[in-house]
Structure 1
Amino acid sequence: MTQSPDDEGTPGGQRPPRPERSQRWSDLDRPPLNAAGLRRGLVRAGGLWRQVDVVQRTGSTNSDLVARAAAGKAEEGTVLVAEEQTAARGRLDRHWTAPARSGLSFSVLLRPTEVPVARWGWLTLLTGVAVATGLSRTAGVDTALKWPNDLLVTVGGEERKAGGILAELAGADGVVIGVGINVSLRADELPVPTAGSLALAGAVNTDRDPLLRGVLRSLEEWYGRWRAAGGDPAVSGLQETYAAGCATLGRTVRAELPGGRALVGEAVAVDGDGRLVLATEAGVQEPVGAGDIVHVRPVEGG
């Protein structure tokens, strides 16, 4: 999964898809996922995950799962994984592509009906915490979160984007959350220097099966904790944990807002609504929401 410099969504910049190097099974570093093994490891009585489907190729797992939910053909806890996506979307309708089986591309359907809708915005940040926690355990890679939806790793002493998250409403009571993670993407497959992968960050494990199980178990744990707290980010520990792992905090950033307005300030907090709070030179603390913002960029020297 590859990324354009301005992409704030899932990892990946738009570029022509690369042809497979040879036959489908020739790249031994990129074996297919074991769908049956994933189901055995994740689907259990009383657990969140009810169905795990792996498809070889699709346009977008998010679009497919939203359509399933709309047709009443998916229950909470459905997981849809694609070995390759051809029309995946990030924030602001950006598109991205990646070599087949070079990463993890999946979507999950959640129905947090007992949580006030006003708190559903935390699901993107919650997923970021869950992904970072799961990868730390299974891949041995230190990760950081760029508000609101990016996963960062360190490659050659530099922060690189290795993952992204996109949440979409699925009817009145559901949310589909899509996750893209660069796993084995090689240096010669990166379109821009700001992209990265777990392999390039020195991961001790790039086997996608345990990585996906670890991320989904972490997501189940955090979602259960947040839901039990009625979506309260403080009571569930989500707000504190996100802030501890957020690389955006403490930096001077420029937020480009709709209508050509720009706001420069130090990112000082993530508030109770999941908004990034900027302290401006005028001495005002102003929150910006993920739904309103176009870009958050570090300011040179900040």
Structure 2
Amino acid sequence: MTPRDASDDSSRWSDLDRPPLNAAALRRGLVRDGGLWSEVDLVQRTGSTNSDLVARAAQGRAAEGAVLVAEEQTSGRGRLDRQWTAPARSGLFFSVLLNPAEVPVARWGWLPLLTGVAVATGLSRAAGVDTALKWPNDLLVTVGGEERKAGGILAERAGDDGVVVGVGINVTLREQELPVPQAGSLALAGAVTTDRDPLLRAVLRSLEDWYGRWRAAGGDPAVSGLQETYAAGCATLGRTVRAELPGERSVVGEAVAVDGDGRLVLATDEGVQEPVGAGDIVHVRPA
């Protein structure tokens, strides 16, 4: 599917609770000399901003710091090939291109966790909503005393030296629009603002800050403060969880730590500490 420029949508004011983003204003607020963000491109509708930006990088049409934002995604993807869809202008759907060449590739696995910390930090400041992270990269908010997923992150390699990180956040999604009962949005969580412009700016500025710290530390999660901050905001730690692993294997245990490789460490009833690097995590009981 070919992306269309956001200005092409003649019905963009059809939902006054969901005004369009302003590409020129975003560029003025985010692109600066010496900063990370090199360009901000806004399209009205596309299949997946991640797929688009990976393709642009492969064609040499995107440099580090490129940001691609869509008002609507028709084929948004999450972890484990799950689909992510939402009404137009109801959320923030964007991808960024990063080239952490000075960081050992073995530490690049921290990028989705870093993005989770940045998103949670930015939204907490700008939207006034308490957020938490479900390992490895789901954003949780509280709606009616219940934890619900309001966002997710997906990182993909782009060539030999790049990583595209995609973020999807439900902002104004209404109860009747939720794809599943476990979903939520910033609006349902009582956000003080649902204006997507300052929310996006806050998230990208937070991401620039955390990425800079991590890169300056050579990707070391302890030296950069990333490991400690992620653990402090991780709702998975301290809970009994079930890890659904590749090969139809599952492990149940208490999530006790996030190790230096970004893996979730489970303490099982057999007295074994097992690190989990991939798989689906189910929270079995509340903290």
Give the TM-score, by structure 1 length: 0.90
Residue 224 of structure 2 is matched in structure 1 by: 236
Percent identity, please: 85
Aligned match of 1:298 in 268, 283, 286? 283
Residue 178 of structure 1 is matched in structure 2 by: 166
Residue 257 of structure 1 is matched in structure 2 by: 245
CA distance in 1, matches of 2:167, 2:67: 11
Residue 40 of structure 1 is matched in structure 2 by: 28
The residue type equivalent to 1:86 in the other structure is: T
Listed as ranges, the matches of 1:207-218 within 5 Å are 207-218=195-206
Residue 141 of structure 2 is matched in structure 1 by: 153
> Is 1:52 the counterpart of 2:37 in the alignment?
no
Listed as ranges, the matches of 1:1-302 within 5 Å are 23-290=11-278, 293=279, 295-300=280-285
SS of match in other structure, 1:120: helix
CA distance in 1, matches of 2:17, 2:218: 43
CA distance in 2, matches of 1:132, 1:260: 31
CA distance in 2, matches of 1:221, 1:32: 26
CA distance in 2, matches of 1:130, 1:274: 16
The runs of 5 or more residues in structure 2 that have no matched partner are 1-9
Aligned length: 278
**Bigger proportion of residues as strand:** 2
The residue type equivalent to 2:151 in the other structure is: G
Displacement after TM superposition at 1:96 (Å): 2.0
The residue type equivalent to 1:70 in the other structure is: A
SS of match in other structure, 1:57: strand
Structure 1's 262 and 50: CA in aligned 2 closer, same or farther, altered over 3 A? Answer: same
Does the 8 Å contact 2:239/2:285 carry over to 1? no
Give the TM-score, by structure 2 length: 0.95
SS of match in other structure, 2:142: strand
The residue type equivalent to 2:113 in the other structure is: L
Cα offsets for 1:90-139 (capped at 9, x unmatched): 11112121100000000000000000000000000000000000001100
Displacement after TM superposition at 1:26 (Å): 2.0
RMSD of Structure 2 on Structure 1 (CA): 1.2
CA distance in 2, matches of 1:68, 1:276: 33
CA distance in 1, matches of 2:131, 2:167: 15
CA distance in 1, matches of 2:125, 2:175: 24
CA distance in 2, matches of 1:191, 1:53: 27
The residue type equivalent to 1:209 in the other structure is: D
The residue type equivalent to 1:148 in the other structure is: P
